[in-house]
Copies of this chain bind each other. A is one copy, B any other.
């Protein structure tokens, strides 16, 4: 028993998080019940509550688990698509275009959660940490590209990125992301960074 329990537990926890991730993102947090998550994960509610004290706890775990992989995937895809920091910044918007084109895209999990659970300070904190880390990445790329005031321009790039993410819930992604890429180009150029031509 002592030997078999940990892996089973581990498996249940992962299955619950996978189910929560799929349902919270697709249907929203408030409209997804704990019962629906347990069902989807193939566990009892009792097992779910063994792993997560409350729905708030599960929501926070859902967001925390999305934070790093989302940022790493974006940064890696941008790096693969572009040479040098300035091109990498703009490539983020190409990655975004591909993301918007996926049929199950529902915009940004963190902005959506913040909008649904505004009074939940843990949700807010997790979303802020995600956005701060994304902004830090922009700042680093800007600084590496020789930008003046990388902090100020990174803040502007975040507005454009989050504007595109928020608006993707309303409009098909194509036009938004082209406008976002153009706005980002203007901002990067204004920061004193030369944008290399695509070879």
Contact = CB atoms under 8 A, between A and B. Distances in A.
B159 A163 contact: yes
B116 A115 contact: yes
A166 B159 CA distance: 9
Copies of this chain, complex-wide, total 2
A106 to B, nearest CB: 6
Nearest to A160: B159
A191 to B, nearest CB: 9
Interface string A80-104: 0000000000000000000000000
Q: Which of A152, A164, A175, A183 has the most CB of B within 10 A?
A: A183
Contacts of A165: 166
In this complex, the interface size class of chain A, counting residues with CB under 8 Å from chain B, is: 35 or more
A111 B111 CA distance: 10
A112 to B, nearest CB: 5
A195 interface: no
Interface of A: 27-28, 30-31, 106-107, 111-112, 114-119, 124, 127-128, 131, 152, 155-156, 158-167, 169-171, 175-176, 179-180, 182-183, 186-187, 190
26 contacts: A27-B119, A28-B117, A106-B118, A107-B115, A111-B170, A112-B115, A115-B115, A115-B166, A128-B170, A128-B171, A131-B167, A152-B179, A155-B175, A155-B176, A156-B160, A156-B180, A156-B183, A158-B163, A158-B179, A159-B160, A159-B167, A159-B176, A162-B162, A183-B183, A183-B187, A190-B190
